Amino acid sequence: MSSRLGGGMGFLATITEGIAVALDALGANKIRSGLTILGVTIGVLVVMVMAAVITGINSSFSEIMSSRGISTFYVAHWDFTSMMDIDIGGDDEEGGDFMKNEPLDPRWARELGRLPEIEKASAFFEAGGPPGSGYQASVSSDRVEISLYGTGSDFLEIDNGDLVQGRWWTESESERRTQVAVIDSATAFDLFGSRNPLGRDINIGRRGESASFKVIGLYRPPANLFAGLATHYVFVPFPTADKVLQVWDRMLNFIVRPKPDVPLQRALDVTHARLRQIRGLKPGEEDDFALMTQDQLVDVWGQLTGVLFIVMVGLSSIGLLVGGVGVIGIMMISVTERTREIGLRKSLGARQRDIMWQFLVEASTLTVMGGSAGMLIGGGIVWALNTFSPVPATTPLWAIIAALGASAMTGIGFGLYPASRASRLEPVDALRYE
């Protein structure tokens, strides 16, 4: 009559039953459940969007880097990769090199270019994107903040951008310090509207001092994130900028390209030796300049985004934590409200672990729903970023899995206490509970 074999609920039956019960409870208290899972939703949303943006930016960055040629390297009078050391509160000496070391002399680029291993070395300076470069371009009363670049005549060979109209300057124009400029379409539009900018004059300068340049070309930045963040490019020949604009020589760097058959390390070694010689450093004296390869820059970039990512994970953990505390609260209420149900289930043969499992599944159903909502909203934001902004964002699969996993774990972790309380109720007390 009574002794049948087999013990307890099947694993799957418990999960489906648990999820059904959980959805039921969710549906019965929509607002309460919604508010509870909001923290989880926000946490997951943040991780998702950040992961997508960082992944997108990273791939965009590697793209730019590789487009400039793997073996191309940079020379600066200080090691700007050290600026990004994750050495918070560490020594300030590193940053101090920027002021302490003598700036590079643009003539040295020519010296480096004469090395047999080097194909090309050119000086360039870059006054970064607005706001803050300090440089403006103007035509009569129209005025616009620009990113000013002083470059060689062959800049396009190492940049991924395009010349859409006109021409770049020649080497001889550069040597003669001709006052010509290549501008991007944003600058052209702001200064000339729909008029053709080619052949027209613009004033470039800062703090009221400016020089007149003739526009000879229209530049289109490469389609990547950085192009989108920094618009209003103005390129002028480096020697011209050096002469007529108050270029801060500490913003000066060299870009060096070895000959194709020369190994990168060899090119670095000869450049290094030559620069020590030029700088007049004695053996044993520290370098007062730095060579930076693409790999190093990518590494630095990786570190930077890594820090960003850790910060984001931290922030979203707080979201999940808040959500988790909410889950504890709501599950405690749920356990109390359903004490009789727990008693009933026990009287029908539910074991402690069945009740425990039921509430754990319920808690994680809550948080996974929150996480899924966060993912849907996050996916929408990622899509919108891709479609309506220049920020490239791709959602990596691991982010989706991690987000769902994290929200399920939040449910299980924070559901543990209420669930174990529920499971330990005495059936007779639970049934009698009013």
| Shortest Cβ 428–another protein spacing (Å) | 4
> Is 428 a binder of another protein (CB under 8 A)?
yes
Contact with another protein (CB under 8 A) among 91, 209, 285, 426: 426
| Shortest Cβ 363–another protein spacing (Å) | 19
According to DSSP, the residues that pair with 389 across neighbouring strands are: none
> Is 347 a binder of another protein (CB under 8 A)?
yes
What whole-number distance in Å separates Cα of residue 171 and Cα of residue 418? 76
Contact with another protein (CB under 8 A) among 340, 389, 401, 405: 340
| Shortest Cβ 37–another protein spacing (Å) | 20
Q: Output the CA–CA distances (angstroms, integers) from residue 186 to 8, 100, 144, 150, 189, in the order listed.
A: 71, 37, 10, 19, 5
E-assigned strands of 16-86?
73-76
What whole-number distance in Å separates Cα of residue 371 and Cα of residue 214? 56
Contact 342, 429 (CB under 8 A): no
Side chain identity, residue 404: L
According to DSSP, the residues that pair with 255 across neighbouring strands are: 74, 122
What whole-number distance in Å separates Cα of residue 91 and Cα of residue 94? 7
Contact with another protein (CB under 8 A) among 212, 265, 352, 389: 352
Q: Nearer to another protein by C-beta: 134 or 427?
A: 427
What the block records as the tokens of 1 is: 């009559």
Q: Which stretch binds another protein (CB under 8 A): 8-16, 155-163, 380-388, 395-403?
A: 8-16
Q: Nearer to another protein by C-beta: 318 or 344?
A: 344
Consecutive H or E run containing 123: strand 118-127
Q: Which stretch binds another protein (CB under 8 A): 201-209, 281-289, 399-407, 422-430?
A: 422-430
Contact with another protein (CB under 8 A) among 32, 354, 408, 412: 354
> Is 199 a binder of another protein (CB under 8 A)?
no
| Shortest Cβ 31–another protein spacing (Å) | 18
> Is 336 a binder of another protein (CB under 8 A)?
no
What whole-number distance in Å separates Cα of residue 162 and Cα of residue 224? 13
What whole-number distance in Å separates Cα of residue 352 and Cα of residue 358? 10
Q: Nearer to another protein by C-beta: 375 or 430?
A: 430
| Shortest Cβ 39–another protein spacing (Å) | 27
Q: Nearer to another protein by C-beta: 5 or 88?
A: 5
Q: Which stretch binds another protein (CB under 8 A): 61-69, 77-85, 284-292, 342-350?
A: 342-350
| Shortest Cβ 343–another protein spacing (Å) | 8
Side chain identity, residue 283: P
Q: Nearer to another protein by C-beta: 234 or 355?
A: 355
> Is 2 a binder of another protein (CB under 8 A)?
yes
Residue 138, judged by CB atoms within 10 A of its CB (0-12, 13-18, 19+), counts as: middle
> Is 30 a binder of another protein (CB under 8 A)?
no
Contact with another protein (CB under 8 A) among 193, 283, 314, 349: 349
> Is 4 a binder of another protein (CB under 8 A)?
yes
Q: What are phi and psi of 123, to 5 degrees?
A: -85, 140
> Is 360 a binder of another protein (CB under 8 A)?
no
* C-alpha torsion sign, points 378, 381, 387, 392: negative
> Is 33 a binder of another protein (CB under 8 A)?
no
Q: Nearer to another protein by C-beta: 170 or 352?
A: 352
What is the torsion angle, in degrees rounded to the nearest 10, for the CA atoms of residue 44, residue 47, residue 51 and residue 52?
A: 50
> Is 194 a binder of another protein (CB under 8 A)?
no
> Is 32 a binder of another protein (CB under 8 A)?
no
Contact 266, 164 (CB under 8 A): no
Q: Residue 284 CA to chain centroid, in angstroms?
A: 39
User: Nearest 5°: CA angle at 365, between 364 and 367?
Assistant: 60
* Chain positions contacting another protein, by CB under 8 A: 1-4, 6-10, 13, 17, 24, 28, 340-341, 344-352, 354, 426-428, 431
